[in-house]
Amino acid sequence: MKNPLALVLLVSSMWLGCSAQNNVCLPVEDNPFSNEPAFAQFTQSVHVLDCFYVLAEPVISEAQLLHVASVVADLLDQDEDGVADDPQLQSVLANGGALMPVLAYEGSPAEEDLWNEYEGDGISAVLYADEIDPSQPGHWGADATVEEVLHALHHVGHVEMYPAAFGLDPSSSLLSEAMDVARSGQFLTVPEAYPEAALVPLR
Q: Name the helix (H) or strand (E) containing 112.
A: helix 109-117
Measure Cα distances from 151 to 33, 99, 127, 142, 200 in Å: 22, 11, 11, 18, 20
28 and 120, same domain (yes or no): yes
94 and 149, same domain (yes or no): yes
pTM over 0.85: no
Phi first, then psi: give them for residue 107, nearest 5 degrees.
85, 10
Cα atoms found within 13 Å of the Cα of residue 126, Cβ hemisphere only: 19
Please, which pLDDT band fits residue 85 given cuts at 50, 70 and 90? very high
100 and 183, same domain (yes or no): no
Beta carbons of 184 and 197 less than 8 angstroms apart: yes
174 and 195, same domain (yes or no): yes
What is the DSSP secondary-structure string of 149-163?
HHHHIIIIIIHHH-H
145 and 176, same domain (yes or no): no
Domain range spanning residue 21?
Answer: 4-166
What pLDDT, on a 0 to 100 scale, did the predictor assign at position 114?
Answer: 97
Full strand arrangement of the beta sheet holding 127-128: 29-30, 44-48, 52-56, 99-103, 127-128
Residue-wise pLDDT for 44-56, tens only, equals 999 999 999 999 9
47 and 75, same domain (yes or no): yes
